[in-house]
Structure 1
Amino acid sequence: MKSLKNNKAVGHDEQGMALLVTIMTVSLLVAVTIQFHKTTWQQFVVANNFKVETQLGAIADSGVNIALTLLQNDGAENTSDSLVESWATLGQEPVENLFPSGSLQVQIVDLTGLLQINSLVQKKDETTGAAGSSNSESEIRQLFLNLLLSGAFPIEDETEARSILDAVVDWIDADDKESDLGAENSYYQSLAQPYSARNGPIQYIEELLLIKGITPELLFGSGEYKGLADYVTVYGNDGQVNINTAPLAVIKSFDSLISDELLEKFDTYRKSPEHKESLEKPNWYKEVDGWPGDIVLEAKLLTTTSSYFQIIATGTLDSLARRVEVVAERLKENEIKLFGRKME
């Protein structure tokens, strides 16, 4: 009788052990299955993201190529550049029919319409020592000073504006002679984290933040104030501004007597396709209704032909986007040279 009970006990123990082993095995299989599913899903997500990013990159690159072709064709057909031409209106509507999925937005910004920061210091002729450009530094610097004092920026007075202008000049020029209100290496070397002035042309717009007196608020804007970066460029050195495409604040920097009402008429005139032929001449502004005869813009600082353009191409697919920026220089032979490609 005792032996029978022992046998039953042993049987129960074996059944319990088998159940425990079964539960452990099932648990292990479930864990392995979950991990496999998680790994597979992660791989799928990575592969899908790579696919989408590749598509977005291809769409954005297509936009850059479209813009470059447009600029080349425009250069071959026209001798001037204005806001009534096809390259200038390219960004008004997204391009949606070129791709099976996704859309494209392309914008071309004329950088020759901005003030050239590096033209504040004109290149010198190695043989004569004279400025290599016909445009005097004093006239170009006056444009920058007028822009800084326009009220569009967080600048308190003329002294602050002149100190910023002098500091930029000192940053660019090759010597270590400090301007009246400027700053040279002695100042930058005295900082907590010292560095040297470039003593050469500024390479990128953010470099201005290294210069004494230029703050992020001044360069990029804050609240009611505009950003200086919207009105200046590091490309070009001859000091000429395309009157057809320049921001109105840049036009006003030629003469502070130009009223806002006159600027509005000026802008309306240059955006009218019927005036396309007139816009080939830099002095077309004199034809604007009501333009005073005593307001004469400095002719040698004006042009109607552009060389530098910023191309901004954005590819969009579902809720994702890829943005490509590149600067193109259109040479006299109508060839294109690219600078500073950025991808976001």
Structure 2
Amino acid sequence: MGSFRHHGAAIIMALLVTALAAVLATALLTQLSRWTDQQAAARDHAQARELARSGIEYARLLLAEDGRRSAMDHPGEAWARPLPPFQAEGGEVSGYLEDLQGRWNLNNLVRDGRIDPQALDLYRRLLRALELPPQLADTLADWLDADASSRPEGAEDDYYLSLQPPYPAANRPLEHLSNLLRVKGYDGPVLARLRPHVAVLPQAQPVNVNTASAQLLAALHPELGPAELQELLRSREQLPFRDLSDYQGRLSGAGTAAALDTRSNHFLAVVTARVGDTQATFQGLLRRTPQQPQPQLLWLLMQ
């Protein structure tokens, strides 16, 4: 009887050991599978980043070729057409370019640490056209100018240092559009409303009248009525402005104090690459000048 019990216990022990070994083997296989998946995902992500970088380089070549072929920039050119998704090196790449000089450069507001009154009035008109509070112009002006004096509807250190956490006013030009989120009155919805019409570019930059939005053109030319503005837009759609003389001729004598052009030097390249289940999106600010037709990459962000 004792022998039978001992034999039964040995069988049970063997079964337990076998079950434990099976559990351990399953756990090891699961960990190995996870590690393999992680390695594959990391490889795919790295490949997607490289493809996205290649897309940025393609955008530079496209702009360089456009600069050699054309003396103006308008929405009918090759650079303005989105790049349809295409297969490349085991992945898919797509992207597009945006003319940032078809937008109002917020850094145009400040020159040598001082606010340009005419530029400030223009920005107020743009805010009204976008149905945004015009006092946003004053808070941004205080954020940009070099002095510590608050405008009547602005904000300086006394406001920002009272926040939690506190921080001082920048008192210098913006570096990126997201900097606006630190300025009094600017939040996500305001930024979303502004984004198609404003940009952050180094130094003062002219507005490309071939790519400027209707709201920006209205802010540039407050003397134009709605019908005249629509006629200007229709004229531009039929035939882009060759140069500023052509533009002024079609304005019927209306003028503006803002710097204008029919050619652009700054473009935003947005490229998305997909490999497997992963994707990488890069945004790059490209600058092209007549002296340097091969565009420079001023900054690169990965989303």
Query: Which moved further from structure 2: 182-191 or 141-150?
Result: 182-191
What is the one-letter code of the residue matched to 1:251? Answer: L
Q: 1:100 and 1:206, CA in 2 relative to 1: closer, same or farther beyond 3 A?
A: closer
SS in 2 for 1:58: helix
What is the one-letter code of the residue matched to 1:140? Answer: A
Q: For this pair of structures, how many residues does the alignment match?
A: 302
| 1:24-75 CA-partner distances (Å, limit 9, x unpaired) | 1211221121012101111121122122212322221221111011112222
By how many angstroms is 1:11 displaced?
2.5
CA contact (8 A) 1:83 1:270 kept: no
Query: Which moved further from structure 2: 197-206 or 251-260?
Result: 251-260
| Alignment RMSD | 2.5
| 1:158-217 CA-partner distances (Å, limit 9, x unpaired) | xxx1x3212211111111133333222222223343221111111221211222222332
CA distance in 2, matches of 1:267, 1:105: 30
By how many angstroms is 1:240 displaced?
1.5
What is the one-letter code of the residue matched to 2:94? Answer: Q
CA contact (8 A) 1:106 1:311 kept: yes
Q: 1:264 and 1:41, CA in 2 relative to 1: closer, same or farther beyond 3 A?
A: farther
Is 1:311 aligned to 2:269, yes or no? Answer: yes
Query: Which moved further from structure 2: 189-198 or 44-53?
Result: 189-198
Match of 2:110 among 121, 136, 143: 121
Partner of 1:224: none
Report 1:27-42 matches (<5 A).
27-42=19-34
Structure 2 residue runs without a partner (length 5+): none
| 1:253-289 CA-partner distances (Å, limit 9, x unpaired) | 11245455655554454345xx35xx2312434666x
Is 1:184 aligned to 2:156, yes or no? Answer: yes
Structure 1 residue runs without a partner (length 5+): 1-8, 125-130, 156-160, 221-226
SS in 1 for 2:216: helix
- The alignment's TM-score, normalised by the length of structure 1, stands at 0.79
CA distance in 2, matches of 1:153, 1:281: 31
SS in 2 for 1:323: strand
CA distance in 1, matches of 2:143, 2:90: 48
By how many angstroms is 1:241 displaced?
0.4
CA distance in 2, matches of 1:326, 1:148: 27
Percent identity (aligned): 23
Question: Which has more radius of gyration?
Answer: 1
Partner of 1:3: none
Is 1:153 aligned to 2:131, yes or no? Answer: yes
By how many angstroms is 1:244 displaced?
1.0
CA distance in 1, matches of 2:160, 2:212: 34
Partner of 1:298: 256
SS in 1 for 2:93: strand
CA distance in 1, matches of 2:5, 2:120: 97
CA distance in 2, matches of 1:23, 1:338: 66
What is the one-letter code of the residue matched to 2:111? Answer: Q
CA distance in 1, matches of 2:64, 2:93: 20
What is the one-letter code of the residue matched to 1:244? Answer: N
Is 1:213 aligned to 2:199, yes or no? Answer: no
By how many angstroms is 1:16 displaced?
0.6
**Which one has the bigger strand percentage?**
2
What is the one-letter code of the residue matched to 1:153? Answer: E
Is 1:111 aligned to 2:100, yes or no? Answer: yes
CA distance in 2, matches of 1:69, 1:95: 18
Match of 1:280 among 237, 242, 253: 242
CA distance in 2, matches of 1:270, 1:140: 24
